[in-house]
Amino acid sequence: MLAQFVLEDDVRLVAVRGGLGAVPGIRLAGVHSGIKARKRDLALIAFDEPQVCAAAVTTNEIKAAPVLVSAEHLAASGDAMRALVCNSGCANACTGERGDRDARATARQAAALLDILPAQVVVASTGVIGVPLPMDRLQRGLERCAAQLENGGKSSHDAAEAIMTTDRVPKLSAYSFYHGGKKHVVGGIAKGSGMIAPNMATMLAFIATDVPMSRDALQAELLACVDESFNMISVDGDMSTNDATYAFAPAGADAPPPAFGRALRQVCLDLAQAMVADGEGATKTLTMHVTGARDAEQARAVARAVINSNLVKTALFGEDPNWGRMIAAAGAARVGLDPDTWSLLLNGKIWVERGAIEALSEAEAHRELELHEIVVELQLGVGDARATAWGCDLSRDYVRINASYRT
Amino acid sequence: MLAQFVLEDDVRLVAVRGGLGAVPGIRLAGVHSGIKARKRDLALIAFDEPQVCAAAVTTNEIKAAPVLVSAEHLAASGDAMRALVCNSGCANACTGERGDRDARATARQAAALLDILPAQVVVASTGVIGVPLPMDRLQRGLERCAAQLENGGKSSHDAAEAIMTTDRVPKLSAYSFYHGGKKHVVGGIAKGSGMIAPNMATMLAFIATDVPMSRDALQAELLACVDESFNMISVDGDMSTNDATYAFAPAGADAPPPAFGRALRQVCLDLAQAMVADGEGATKTLTMHVTGARDAEQARAVARAVINSNLVKTALFGEDPNWGRMIAAAGAARVGLDPDTWSLLLNGKIWVERGAIEALSEAEAHRELELHEIVVELQLGVGDARATAWGCDLSRDYVRINASYRT
């Protein structure tokens, strides 16, 4: 996943270790506070200087208390944010007035510990809906977080672990690049392996950089990258009440250099693809390219429809070369598919031509599907727009994991 | 499922045996032609007199050849249809020009056998996409069908079996009622247990009656009933290329009696609910009522979003009282949910009040979920519109069945 070098339009990005912790001026901690039985469940991120903050949050109409409280804080002081608190194991969603009070109390405590204002704190939660936060444990844990804050990869890894729910591995990504003779970094951590669907900020991701810019510029860059990464992945088509992406940067001049946008995009792609690879019960990933589309919207809609189909996902799990399910899912998107012009490629080989002619035998296609990372290209044959979406298979383990999430 | 008596607005419907075969003037057969290895796979339905025919077909943009050919035939002679041929085991979809030729040849052969015109024949197929019909076997099978045609329950059962794919049980329903001193019947057969999604004619259903009416009247009655039944069920959210509902009636006066609409609706509901109960791998059904909605569209959208959620379905399979997933799915429908006014009822008992207050303990809710038929009511608290959708759970068996459909 982590390309060591990405060279694009003369911008050289270098993958660096440490994720969010690779960004100068940031300190992190992740501890076990007791919200969960055994694992780390509370992360604190603190910035040495005030940051502009951009956000892309869930479009679900039922929003968790921390999402709403953070929106308030960003409205009040989004040009000068200083910290982020995130717990796992409890979503603090559908928790009524108590949920609102608890989210505010968490921000107040973090502010007191860091000697900043409560409105300078972003709060986030992830876990089971409808259960109140165990505030006594969270508060003791937050004190320990504040005492352990430090820069670098170890604390970044701890924080990435502390925001995990059903994730099997922590998700970190960071890239450096040179601009104006100075080295800069964009880094992030993320969680998400179930309740991941297209068309929203689909999980938690926290990203930072040391490149100064305006809040509006950061917001525009973030939305553009989210649209190509987190909004193009699917594990199960479910949308969460809590999901949010927050990006932080030092306040500065209007426009960041182009290299920043490239690095941010690569961090978002890395984190998004890591989520899909770690999809609940996933044994395979599907990279779904849609090319030759009338426009980008058509390409995006078709790519997302295919990765969202349960029948495509189960066929993938079974290594069953059932291309008909992909086409049925594409047609069900109802964005103007021409039944006679499409062709399908599997791992770069022509699979089906012009709507009907099977070019790979069932045995050949089956062998291709035995790979761990499957790449399918659906050429619509009507234009030159394209889009890519990423998904995973639907396995018996997805059902096992989700049939008893609480226990 | 089959209520013996349904009394509504003074209309007394009596459930009768035989499904489609209970309708006078219809003859059926279902045989094993060899498209499938062992099971019945070819059905023929013939009407003694010309029939008006109404249709509701898949909205998938990739439509199978028989769907397109039947649309042509209905355009040409939809006031005087005489027969329907349906095979299972092969969808004849994405089969190019050959698929079109095969569908037409099937209609021609049925017409020759029954001494009618090819355009008086509806053709339908269901099964794997992208595989051509084995026409030699189909043709020999169709000859045997024509020789075995008869009225009544046995042949109706054979035909219902012959259109099954992954269905475990054949699906038949029929009701009789008196109008103008004469007994009338509405009967139907259907198939469908996977690739069942809301927002379309979601499977194959063939319905007939001996109540004379105009084609327009039949079409209007069919669409109204489909919208409340087949369009409100979900097994896996996938939409097929082949699905179609065809209804037949003797040509006659404009308006059928109100009792006809009631009987048609009940037949559609029975068949739709039978599909959900027979959902691939299903161990439980969920009847999802949404009440107190602003309007019917909001109620329908929310009900369908909940039954379509993989996380709701897996929680149901695990008997896990995770109501947060239902609310998250409802909020993800984005049709204007008020987060503070909703309440949830489980099997008639208050589960969660006004967005946050849990009225049933986890243990109590778990006991309710141990039942086979689960009824949930989501009161939106903003109006008085309502809708009902039907779904089933997502089990390990769904994955097993769909990971190797071909084998």
Per-domain residue ranges of chain B: 5-277, 285-403
Residue B21 reports pLDDT greater than 90: yes
Topology agreement, domain B5-277 and domain B285-403: no
Of A322, A331, A403, the CB nearest to B405: A322
B:110-169 residues touching chain A, CB 8 A cutoff = 128-130
Residue B98 reports pLDDT greater than 60: yes
Which percentage of chain A shows pLDDT scores above 70?
93
- Residue A200 has a pLDDT of 34
Question: Which residues of chain B neighbour A362 with C-beta distances below 8 Å?
Answer: 406
Assess B339–A contact: CB distance below 8 Å, yes or no.
yes
C-alpha–C-alpha distance, residues A175 and A186, integer Å: 6
C-alpha–C-alpha distance, residues A367 and A116, integer Å: 58
**Could B94 and A352 be called an inter-chain contact, meaning their C-beta atoms sit closer than 8 Å?**
yes
**Could B311 and A403 be called an inter-chain contact, meaning their C-beta atoms sit closer than 8 Å?**
no
**Could B62 and A331 be called an inter-chain contact, meaning their C-beta atoms sit closer than 8 Å?**
yes
**Dihedral (Cα; A137, A139, A141, A146), 10-degree rounding:** 180
**What's A78's DSSP letter?**
T
Contact B275, B192 (CB under 8 A): yes
Residue A201 reports pLDDT greater than 70: no
- Residue B407 has a pLDDT of 34
**To the nearest whole angstrom, how far is the Cα of A177 from the nearest Cα of chain B?**
38
Residue A1 reports pLDDT greater than 50: no
Assess B400–A contact: CB distance below 8 Å, yes or no.
yes
Backbone angles phi, psi at B263, to 5 degrees: -65, -40
C-alpha–C-alpha distance, residues A57 and A204, integer Å: 9
Q: List the single residue in A with minimal CA-CA distance to B305.
A: A238
- Residue B91 has a pLDDT of 92
Tell me, rounded to whole angstroms, the distance of Cα B129 from its chain centroid. Answer: 20
**Could A237 and B240 be called an inter-chain contact, meaning their C-beta atoms sit closer than 8 Å?**
no
Assess A332–B contact: CB distance below 8 Å, yes or no.
yes
Residues paired with residue B8 on neighbouring β-strands, in sequence order: B11
Count H helices and E strands in chain A, helices first: 11, 17
Q: Which residue, among A325, A352, A353, A366, would best test binding to B if mutated, counting the most B CBs under 10 Å from its CB? A: A325
Q: What is the pLDDT of residues A160-181, one digit of tens each?
A: 999 998 888 999 999 999 988 8
For A265-277, b/e burial (b = at least 16 CB within 10 A) is bbbbbbbbbbbbb
Residues paired with residue A122 on neighbouring β-strands, in sequence order: A84
Assess B326–A contact: CB distance below 8 Å, yes or no.
no
Q: What is the pLDDT of residues B53-77, one digit of tens each?
A: 999 988 888 889 999 999 999 999 9
Q: How many CA atoms lie within 13 A of A249 on its CB side?
A: 28
Assess A65–B contact: CB distance below 8 Å, yes or no.
no
Question: Which residues of chain A neighbour B399 with C-beta distances below 8 Å?
Answer: 314, 317, 394-396, 398-399
**To the nearest whole angstrom, how far is the Cα of B8 from the nearest Cα of chain A?**
37
- Residue B203 has a pLDDT of 84
Across the A:B interface, residue pairs with CB atoms under 8 Å apart total 215
- Residue A7 has a pLDDT of 54
- Residue B356 has a pLDDT of 76
Which percentage of chain B shows pLDDT scores above 70?
93
Of B197, B317, B407, the CB nearest to A399: B317
Q: List the single residue in A with minimal CA-CA distance to B340.
A: A96
**Could A325 and B399 be called an inter-chain contact, meaning their C-beta atoms sit closer than 8 Å?**
no
Q: List the single residue in B with minimal CA-CA distance to A94.
A: B356
Which of these, A101, A100, A110, lies nearest to A139 by C-alpha position? A110
Q: How is chain A split among helix, strand and coil, in percent rounded to 5?
A: 35, 30, 35
Of B62, B311, B352, the CB nearest to A328: B62
Of B62, B194, B331, the CB nearest to A60: B331
Give the confidence band of B218 by pLDDT, cuts at 50, 70, 90: very high
Residue A139 reports pLDDT greater than 90: yes
Alpha-carbon Rg for chain A in angstroms: 21
Give mean pLDDT, residues B308-322: 89
Question: Which residues of chain A neighbour B311 with C-beta distances below 8 Å?
Answer: 194-195, 236, 238, 402
Amino acid code (one letter) for A109:
Q
Residue B202 reports pLDDT greater than 50: no
Residues paired with residue A187 on neighbouring β-strands, in sequence order: A174, A208
C-beta atoms surrounding B153 within 10 Å: 18
Which percentage of chain B shows pLDDT scores above 90?
68
Contact B290, B335 (CB under 8 A): no
Which of these, A284, A312, A280, lies nearest to A372 by C-alpha position? A284
Sheet with A357-358: strands ordered across: A233-234, A385-392, A285-293, A373-379, A343-346, A349-353, A357-358
Question: Which residues of chain A neighbour B407 with C-beta distances below 8 Å?
Answer: 320
Give mean pLDDT, residues B237-262: 87
Beta strand pairing call for B285-293 and B373-379: parallel
Assess B404–A contact: CB distance below 8 Å, yes or no.
yes
C-alpha–C-alpha distance, residues B174 and B253, integer Å: 23
Tell me, rounded to whole angstroms, the distance of Cα B235 from its chain centroid. Answer: 11
Helix (H/G/I), strand (E/B), else coil: B372: coil
Give A83-119 as a DSSP string.
EEEEEESB---S-HHHHHHHHHHHHHHHHHHHTS-GG
Q: Which residue did the predictor score with more confidence, B196 or B231? A: B231
**Could A317 and B240 be called an inter-chain contact, meaning their C-beta atoms sit closer than 8 Å?**
no
Structure tokens at A46: 């603190």
Biggest distance spanned by C-alpha atoms of chain A: 68
**What's B225's DSSP letter?**
H
Assess A196–B contact: CB distance below 8 Å, yes or no.
no
Give the ranges where B41-152 is alpha helix by DSSP (H): 65-77, 96-114, 135-148
**What's A251's DSSP letter?**
B
Residues paired with residue B213 on neighbouring β-strands, in sequence order: B251
Residue partners of A162: CB distance under 8 A and separation at least 6: A30, A31, A32, A40, A41, A42, A43, A86, A87, A88
- Residue B196 has a pLDDT of 54
Which of these, A301, A298, A297, A269, lies nearest to A285 by C-alpha position? A269
Q: How is chain B split among helix, strand and coil, in percent rounded to 5?
A: 35, 30, 35
**Could B237 and A323 be called an inter-chain contact, meaning their C-beta atoms sit closer than 8 Å?**
no
Helices B323-332 and B310-317, axial angle in degrees (round to 10): 160
Assess A18–B contact: CB distance below 8 Å, yes or no.
no
Residue B292 reports pLDDT greater than 80: yes
C-alpha–C-alpha distance, residues B402 and A316, integer Å: 10
Question: Which residues of chain A neighbour B392 with C-beta distances below 8 Å?
Answer: none
Residues paired with residue B81 on neighbouring β-strands, in sequence order: B51
Q: List the single residue in B with minimal CA-CA distance to A339.
A: B62
Question: Which residues of chain B neighbour A334 with C-beta distances below 8 Å?
Answer: 59-61
**Could A94 and B355 be called an inter-chain contact, meaning their C-beta atoms sit closer than 8 Å?**
yes
Query: Length of chain B, please?
Result: 407
**To the nearest whole angstrom, how far is the Cα of B311 from the nearest Cα of chain A?**
7
Of B99, B128, B309, the CB nearest to A324: B128
Structure tokens at A252: 């500065």
**pTM for the full predicted model:** 0.82
């972003």: which residue's tokens? Answer: A122
Q: Which residue, among A59, A68, A94, would best test binding to B if mutated, counting the most B CBs under 10 Å from its CB? A: A94
Assess B371–A contact: CB distance below 8 Å, yes or no.
no
Q: What is the pLDDT of residues A221-262, one digit of tens each?
A: 999 999 889 888 876 556 678 889 999 999 998 789 999 999
Which of these, A327, A366, A363, A367, lies nearest to A344 by C-alpha position? A327
**Catalytic annotation, residues of B:** 202
C-alpha–C-alpha distance, residues A310 and A277, integer Å: 17
Which run of H or of E encompasses B301?
A: helix B296-308
**Could A61 and B400 be called an inter-chain contact, meaning their C-beta atoms sit closer than 8 Å?**
no
Residue B1 reports pLDDT greater than 80: no
C-alpha–C-alpha distance, residues B88 and B158, integer Å: 13
Helix (H/G/I), strand (E/B), else coil: B271: helix
The third-level CATH classification (topology) of the domain covering A285-403 is Ubiquitin-like (UB roll) (3.10.20)
Give the confidence band of A135 by pLDDT, cuts at 50, 70, 90: very high
**Could A337 and B93 be called an inter-chain contact, meaning their C-beta atoms sit closer than 8 Å?**
no
- Residue B6 has a pLDDT of 56
Mean pLDDT, chain A, whole residue set: 90
**To the nearest whole angstrom, how far is the Cα of A35 from the nearest Cα of chain B?**
18
Helix (H/G/I), strand (E/B), else coil: A335: coil
Kindly report the three-state secondary structure assignment for every residue of A134-186: CHHHHHHHHHHHHHHCECCHHHHHHHHHHCCCCCCCCEEEEEEEEECCEEEEE
**Catalytic annotation, residues of A:** 202
Mean pLDDT, chain B, whole residue set: 90
C-alpha–C-alpha distance, residues B245 and B222, integer Å: 9
Structure tokens at B194: 């996977």
C-alpha–C-alpha distance, residues A364 and A321, integer Å: 9
Q: Give A5-277's CATH code, choosing from 3.30.2010.10, 3.60.70.12, 1.10.3720.10, 1.20.210.10.
A: 3.60.70.12
| C-beta pairs of A227-231 under 8 Å, 24+ apart in sequence | A228/A265, A228/A268, A228/A269, A229/A265, A229/A268, A229/A269, A229/A271, A229/A272, A230/A56, A230/A201, A230/A202, A230/A203, A230/A205, A230/A268, A230/A271, A230/A272, A230/A275, A231/A198, A231/A199, A231/A200, A231/A201, A231/A202
Burial (CB < 10 A; 0-12, 13-18, 19+), residue A404, is middle
Q: Which residue did the predictor score with more confidence, B53 or B4? A: B53
Which percentage of chain A shows pLDDT scores above 90?
68
Q: Which of A368-382, B45-59, B196-210 has the lowest mean pLDDT?
A: B196-210
Amino acid code (one letter) for B214:
S
Q: What is the pLDDT of residues A85-111, one digit of tens each?
A: 999 999 999 999 999 999 999 999 999
Give A360-382 as a DSSP string.
S-HHHHHHHHTSSEEEEEEE-SS
Give mean pLDDT, residues B176-181: 90
Backbone angles phi, psi at A118, to 5 degrees: -55, -35
Question: Which residues of chain A neighbour B405 with C-beta distances below 8 Å?
Answer: 315, 318, 320, 322
Assess B295–A contact: CB distance below 8 Å, yes or no.
no
Give mean pLDDT, residues A277-297: 91
Residue A309 reports pLDDT greater than 90: no
C-alpha–C-alpha distance, residues B238 and B236, integer Å: 5
Q: Which residue did the predictor score with more confidence, B149 or A406? A: B149
Q: What is the pLDDT of residues B359-378, one digit of tens each?
A: 899 899 999 999 999 999 99
Contact A311, A328 (CB under 8 A): yes
Of B237, B311, B315, the CB nearest to A310: B237
Residues paired with residue A11 on neighbouring β-strands, in sequence order: A8
Give mean pLDDT, residues A51-74: 93
**Could B399 and A402 be called an inter-chain contact, meaning their C-beta atoms sit closer than 8 Å?**
no
